[in-house]
Structure 1
């Protein structure tokens, strides 16, 4: 695996991934880790020694694939809308939104490598999206009509903080969609099931070769939640 030292994130990504289409979204190509590149087998310890965070951006997670598939099949959801791709990772959902006709897409992630991956992936698909490295959880709606959040319920406290913020964004003018394949910390309330997809995965990154990924519509917080 290429060393991080003195290497721009974009160069690292190109050297340690391959441009491939996710199983459920063949219309989109992403720079992904695969079984044939060293990044696939690198441990978190090995990455930390190079100053790298876990490469969540290098995999097309099931929830994100479900969201992307839903948007491409139902472009009216985002057509002409201003879209936020939250915790964007590879940028798959945001790219799909732009390809489906979104007026603008802002992809946000706290990981600089994820932001670099978003830019590379957007360029590879001819999708004009804005990429921002920031933690936006807790901020007010910045003009978004649709907010997308794929695979964000990995860890308890973070999932609770994120989902509470997502619910606070929901209004008659702002639709919030989550994609999730049954993560442990997915909320049990405040979600409306939209559609589900069977997504081919790998046991290297999931606990099954096939995950049932659901697109959820997030409900607004009620007074009792405050």
Structure 2
């Protein structure tokens, strides 16, 4: 989870952020190699398994025990580490996949805005045939690789190009955890996901704790709630009092 104070509260929890895909992240280049970024992540995150909806999944996250929790945000050498946060939308999505293995079993799964990779990990643990993680931050792909190892899984294939709006074929299931945090991004997702469903019959599952850009968006009337989970007390505190998180099935025909 992201703190209220660590690295400036992750820039006040995505407030005034550019949508993913509009920022190619320059901080990664400072390290010169994947190995050096891997070592930096290992040294500046902590393995966490409790205080979430999925205690059976281990993740490398940013916690008060990490050096940069109290450091000035400008000293952080990478882009804002959204991959070091287990967002409540992602937690609900991962919990649902673990509790409902038929949702992913035998299916080709694309996790968009994958971050720490928890939803993808849950899909693989539930028997998915193939998983691709997609996040425009290259550090997220490395973090996901490390998290796969923590959970006894081979690394997933990863893609750091922005896939939102692209023509996709062959994916049975698209996962989005806590991706509706900005109006323009919500608009892009709505249009793209609808085209994926209509053209290829792809199923879309969305995890979200009730953020305004989902609740107030026109996509909301096309969502069927599959599950709702009460967030643990620590998760509520670190997410400005959000109390629950839900999983939605996007059905444009509704």
TM-score range, shorter chain: 0.7 to 0.9
Q: 1:42 to 1:175 in 2, by over 3 A?
A: farther
Q: Which of 127, 141, 148 pairs up with 1:122?
A: 148
Q: CA deviation at 1:170?
A: 1.6
Q: For 2:212, what is the secondary structure of its paired residue?
A: coil
Q: How many residues are aligned here?
A: 216
In the superposition, the TM-score normalised over structure 2's length comes to: 0.78
Q: CA deviation at 1:202?
A: 5.4
Any stretches of 5+ residues in structure 1 without a counterpart? none
Q: 1:160 to 1:122 in 2, by over 3 A?
A: same
**Residue correspondence of structure 1 range 1-226 to structure 2 within 5 A:** 5-6=30-31, 8-22=36-50, 23-42=52-71, 44-47=73-76, 50=77, 52-128=78-154, 129-171=156-198, 173-186=201-214, 187=217, 188-200=220-232, 201=235, 203-204=237-238, 206-208=239-241, 211-220=243-252
Distance in 1 (CA, whole Å) between partners of 2:153 and 2:82 is 21
Q: CA deviation at 1:134?
A: 1.4
Q: Retained in 1: the 8 A contact 2:236–2:243? A: no
Q: CA deviation at 1:43?
A: 5.1
**Which structure's relative contact order is higher, taking Cα pairs within 8 Å and 6+ residues apart?**
2
Q: CA deviation at 1:218?
A: 0.7
Any stretches of 5+ residues in structure 2 without a counterpart? 1-26
Point out the structure with the larger strand share: 1
Point out the structure with the larger helix share: 2
Q: For 1:122, what is the secondary structure of its paired residue?
A: helix
Q: CA deviation at 1:19?
A: 1.2
Q: For 2:148, what is the secondary structure of its paired residue?
A: helix
Please tell me the root mean square deviation across aligned C-alpha atoms, in Å: 2.2
In the superposition, the TM-score normalised over structure 1's length comes to: 0.88
Q: Retained in 2: the 8 A contact 1:153–1:159? A: yes
